[in-house]
Amino acid sequence: MPTPERTSLDAILAAGCEILEADGLGGLTMQAVADRVGVRAPSLYKRVRNRSDLVRLIAAAAVVDLGERLDAASDASDANGDRTDGRGAVLAPVARLARTVRAFAHERPAAYGLVFAPGDDSGLEVEALRQASAPLLAVAADLAGPEHALDAARTLTAWLTGFISMELSGAFRLGGDVDRAFEFGVDRIAAALAPQAE
């Protein structure tokens, strides 16, 4: 008679996400996850090859989570009709998506760090990234035109990543209202990316 399964991949990933946010990437060990789900560490290897695989799976789950949030924000834009009314109206969905990314980063800063870490250590698949980025690419196409969608999305993402990374690390030390600065930046970068009237 086979032994009953004591844990699932979903439980392992949920525990891994909790540990990542509480203790950082350094605290995310197979032993810590095993302790959290109530099994011995060797039991995890039935579901996850090794720690690198665990990190990759957690990063992939974070990409899916962020993509779903961006989809929901994009759907809200569609429901408001503000993606179809020209240059001025397209700025609203840009701000909505930017706020969504920022909210994700504040709620799950360690997962955000995995998704937006430089290099390719996370092992994220390009197709998963493409699917999660689809709402941003659609808004970028509305904003800058289809021929410049990828360039506009990259520019906005680079600004967002820089701003959010500085914010999360406490690098804004001169006082002032950081929320207002964020809104100012989103507005200005969106306006700069939109084609100018001739």
- Residue 121's pLDDT is 55
- The answer to whether position 109 is within a domain reads yes
Its domain, for residue 125, covers 61-193
pTM of the model: 0.86
> pLDDT above 70 covers what percent of the chain?
86
Asked if 34 and 118 sit in the same domain, the reply is no
Segment 146-167, tens digit of pLDDT:
999 999 999 999 999 999 999 9
Supply angle C-alpha 121, 127, 128, rounded to 5: 70
Whole-number percent of the chain with pLDDT over 90:
68
The span from the CA of 113 to the CA of 109, in Å, is 6
Count up the domains in the chain and report the number: 2
With 90 as the cut, is the pLDDT of residue 5 above it?
A: no
Cα of first residue to Cα of last residue in the chain, in angstroms, is 76
Q: What is the CATH number of the domain that holds 86?
A: 1.10.357.10
The CATH number assigned to the domain holding 30 equals 1.10.10
Helix, coil or strand: residue 47 = coil
Residue 126 lies in a domain: yes
The alpha carbon of residue 67 and the mean position of all alpha carbons in its chain are separated, in whole angstroms, by 7
pLDDT at residue 125 in the model: 76
Question: What is the predicted pLDDT for the residue at 84?
Answer: 42
